């Protein structure tokens, strides 16, 4: 049992958006048992949360963990998407097992430390001759740091010689990908509520996979009841590619290939027409908004305000670390709010809306109804942020919004996943941070030289 005592504020993100001052949260096993003032529980570990705001753990719906070893690379700091990819593909082609392990540990460490408790990962790069099982390595690394993990089996099959963007050395055969997708679902996917391991399917993008793979992936995902994910409508270059190769707009292609519905969500979704937004809304097809990446690559501004008004399902993603270049989950929430205001003005998005996208939006897209709020019976995934420091002083008239508007340090004081404290006093509990940093820097240097 775990008792989070004297929280300055608990923002439950339940249906009524209840917020509780000076209250406690009792956790039994991997679930929340009770919320209230002056709770007592003999035998429980008591954690002092005075001066802190507790929120449900945030959800990262889009990332490419392996890219963390090539973040901030001088040759890719100022390029737009297609040029940026062309520069990086040959470097990523050298990924090995240690790079997958250390990058997954590093990315999940950063996410956990900034209040994310559940993350997806879009691992789409399978270099020719790679030794080892990438998804097994990733699950092993996620077990070490303690995050709840739903990686997607990504893929690229359309190499340069077939008119695609990636070099042939990093693409796979369609039949090989399909067989491995079925294998990883059977081996790793646990659909039970509150499971720590799930799998989704995610061919990379319209410009790096073939139509047969898209169609067959959708068929397989529905047979196995797993979520579908890919990049879509990220840039005008992509739109041009789709018109040139297929004579259709990106979303039209998705509709043709069966990629529409409540079990599908797309990363980015910047270049949609009004009718396309309406189609997304009517079919329950989701969007993972990635504001930092979109700004970093100069891709554009997704019309999130209009999506929310039309009731399109929206979640949040930090995106790969070579285009952010940080897995700062709380920072992503702030950027989501600010970027919508650049496009639509000061009323475009409230702090609570931005947090809600990162919390409830994410559990909805990834399909975890048992998470996403601090309520009795829900999974005990909670992030606790200290607002008693310099960065929040003078801003406590609204402590929850202060997480988004104020504060220069986004490190959670405590992060709890499935009832276990995995970040304590801002430090990872299960892994030595200095060792992880050294290991990741070594792996990064090896990749670059
Ligand atoms: Zn991406």
Output the CA 317–ligand 1 centroid distance in Å: 9
* Rounded Cα gap, residues 207 and 232, in angstroms: 10
Output the CA 298–ligand 1 centroid distance in Å: 14
Output the CA 205–ligand 1 centroid distance in Å: 9
- Give 156-207 pLDDT, tens digit per residue: 999 999 988 899 999 999 999 999 999 999 999 999 999 999 999 999 998 8
- Cα torsion 108, 114, 118, 121 to 10°: value is -40
Output the CA 33–ligand 1 centroid distance in Å: 37
Q: Are 123 and 134 in contact (CB under 8 A)?
A: yes
- Give 197-230 pLDDT, tens digit per residue: 999 999 999 889 999 999 999 999 999 999 999 9
> What mean pLDDT do residues 299-321 have?
97
Neighbours of ion ligand 1 (CB under 5 A): 319
Output the CA 265–ligand 1 centroid distance in Å: 12
DSSP string, 222-253: HHHT--EEEEES--HHHHHHHHHHHSS-HHHH
pLDDT for residue 100:
98
> What mean pLDDT do residues 287-291 have?
98
Q: Are 141 and 101 in contact (CB under 8 A)?
A: yes
Fold held by 58-366: TIM Barrel (3.20.20)
Output the CA 320–ligand 1 centroid distance in Å: 6
Output the CA 267–ligand 1 centroid distance in Å: 7
* Rounded Cα gap, residues 20 and 267, in angstroms: 34
Output the CA 238–ligand 1 centroid distance in Å: 13
Query: What token pair was written down for 378?
Result: 């829900």
- How do the domains of the chain map onto residue ranges? 2-57+372-428, 58-366
Output the CA 436–ligand 1 centroid distance in Å: 24
Output the CA 64–ligand 1 centroid distance in Å: 6
pTM: 0.98
Q: Does domain 2-57+372-428 have CATH number 2.30.40.10?
A: yes
Helix (H, G, I), strand (E, B) or coil at 414: strand
pLDDT for residue 176:
95
pLDDT at 327 exceeding the cut of 90: yes
Q: Rounded to the nearest 5°, which phi and psi values hold at 73? A: -75, 125
């Amino acid at each position: 049992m775990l008792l989070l005592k004297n929280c300055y504020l608990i923002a439950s993100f339940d249906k009524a958006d209840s917020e509780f001052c000076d209250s406690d949260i009792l956790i039994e096993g991997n679930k929340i048992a009770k919320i209230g003032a002056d709770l007592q529980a003999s035998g429980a570990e008591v954690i002092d949360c005075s001066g802190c705001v507790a929120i449900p753990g945030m959800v990262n719906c889009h990332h490419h963990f392996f890219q963390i070893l090539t973040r901030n690379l001088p040759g890719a700091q100022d390029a737009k998407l297609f040029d940026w990819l062309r520069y990086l593909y040959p470097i990523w082609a050298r990924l090995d097992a240690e790079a997958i392990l250390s990058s997954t540990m590093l990315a999940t460490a950063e996410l956990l430390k900034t209040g994310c408790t559940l993350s997806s990962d879009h691992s789409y790069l399978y270099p020719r001759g790679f030794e080892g099982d990438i998804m097994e390595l990733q699950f092993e690394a996620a077990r070490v740091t303690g995050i709840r993990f739903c990686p997607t089996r990504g893929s690229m099959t359309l190499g340069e010689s077939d008119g695609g963007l990636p070099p042939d050395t990093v693409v796979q055969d369609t039949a090989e990908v399909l067989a491995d997708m079925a294998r990883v679902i059977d081996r790793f996917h646990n659909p039970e509520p509150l499971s720590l391991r799930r799998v989704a399917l995610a061919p990379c993008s319209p410009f790096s996979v073939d139509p047969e793979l898209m169609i067959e992936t959708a068929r397989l995902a529905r047979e196995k009841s797993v979520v579908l994910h890919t990049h879509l409508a990220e840039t005008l270059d992509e739109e041009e590619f789709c018109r040139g190769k297929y004579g259709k707009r990106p979303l039209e292609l998705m509709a043709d290939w069966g990629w529409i519905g409540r079990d599908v969500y797309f990363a980015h979704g910047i270049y949609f027409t009004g009718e396309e937004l309406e189609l997304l809304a009517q079919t329950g097809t989701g969007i993972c908004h990635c504001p930092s990446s979109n700004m970093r690559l100069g891709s554009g501004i997704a019309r999130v305000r209009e999506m929310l008004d039309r009731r399109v399902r929206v979640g949040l993603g930090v995106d790969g670390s070579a285009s952010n270049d940080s897995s700062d989950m709380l920072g992503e929430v702030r950027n989501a709010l600010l970027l919508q205001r650049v496009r639509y003005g000061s009323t475009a998005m409230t702090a609570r809306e931005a947090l809600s996208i990162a919390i409830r939006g994410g559990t909805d897209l990834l399909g975890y109804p048992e998470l996403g709020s601090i309520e009795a019976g829900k999974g005990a995934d909670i992030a606790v942020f200290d607002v008693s420091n310099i960065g929040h002083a003078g801003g406590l008239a609204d402590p929850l919004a202060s997480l988004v508007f104020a504060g220069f340090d986004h490190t959670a004081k405590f992060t709890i996943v499935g009832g276990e404290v995995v970040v304590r006093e801002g430090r990872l509990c299960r892994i030595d941070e200095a060792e992880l940093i050294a290991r990741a820097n070594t792996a990064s240097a090896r990749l670059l030289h």
